[in-house]
Amino acid sequence: MKGSRALLLVALTLLCVWGLGSGEDSEEFFMEFLQTLLVGTAEELYEGPLGKFSVNEEAKAALTALKSGIDGLQPSHKAELVKLLVQVLGSQDEA
């Protein structure tokens, strides 16, 4: 379990860095990626936000493990993450 938490932390950190450093398109990608990660399926990640990228098998395995870790969260924790995402998306709409 510690490994999947560490993987989640690393992935989210990298996505934050990419999202903050690369402009509006990256912010949109980041938010769509997070939304799909929280409430979608691994397949939806590859078809949606990652659809225009070539994702190798090792990266797919890592994403599957990450998604599995998120899916394994307590429902209340996952609900709070979804609320946070909605809040962030709402603040972007206002800006």
Name the residue among 49, 67, 50, 51 with its Cα closest to residue 11.
Answer: 67
Q: State the residue range of the domain holding 9.
A: 3-91
Burial of 49 (0-12, 13-18, 19+ CB in 10 A): buried
Q: What are phi and psi of 52, to 5 degrees?
A: -90, 5
Residues of the chain with pLDDT under 70: 1-24, 92-95
Which pLDDT score, from 0 to 100, does residue 42 have? 86
| Overall domain count for the chain | 1
Structure letter (DSSP) for residue 73: S
What pTM, to 2 d.p., does this model score?
0.65
SS3 50: coil
Which pLDDT score, from 0 to 100, does residue 20 have? 47
Which pLDDT score, from 0 to 100, does residue 24 have? 53
CA–CA separation, 46 and 80 (whole Å): 25
Write down the residue that tokens 């979608």 correspond to: 40
Write down the residue that tokens 């980041």 correspond to: 30
